[in-house]
Amino acid sequence: MEKNLILTGQQVSQKIKRMAFEVYELTSRKRRLCLPASNGQGYMLAHCWPNNFDRDINHQGKVVKVSIDKSAPLQSQIELDAEPSSFKKKCIVVVDDVLNTGKTLAYAMKPFSWC
């Protein structure tokens, strides 16, 4: 089976950096940023962003892992690796890879509904 290359490694890096700048542009007035990310690819993606913030634009971003059973999000308990009080007075940007429907992203936002 022949595979098609959609993006090169350099193009993927450029896309990730552009996403980091988009987040910065939208949150630049709020220097305290929290990046809760769904376990798996979303968590890996979120870890790429603070590196771009710190090196390029000096914007602080804390990555928080959101553990959720992606195959049964309604039945699973959603866990965070940080205390809810640590999100107060921060700009929250929930990160997920959204490969299919975005269902996991919708459930991953549940712990932040009080914000």
Indicate which CATH number applies to the domain containing 52.
3.40.50.2020
Question: What domain range includes position 74?
Answer: 31-112
State which amino acid sits at residue 35: L
pLDDT > 70: what percent of the chain?
Answer: 82
Note whether residue 36 is domain-resident.
yes
Task: Using pLDDT thresholds of 50, 70 and 90, give the confidence band for residue 11.
Answer: very high
- Per-residue pLDDT of 62-96, as tens digits, reads 888 988 887 777 777 888 888 877 788 888 888 88
Note whether residue 69 is domain-resident.
yes
Note whether residue 107 is domain-resident.
yes
Note whether residue 14 is domain-resident.
no
> What per-residue confidence (pLDDT) applies to 92?
84
Look at residue 18 and tell me whether its pLDDT is greater than 60: yes
Note whether residue 1 is domain-resident.
no
Helices then strands, counting H and E runs in the chain, come out as 3, 4
pTM: 0.71
CA within 13 Å, CB half, 81: 13
Look at residue 46 and tell me whether its pLDDT is greater than 80: yes
- Per-residue pLDDT of 50-71, as tens digits, reads 666 555 455 566 888 988 887 7
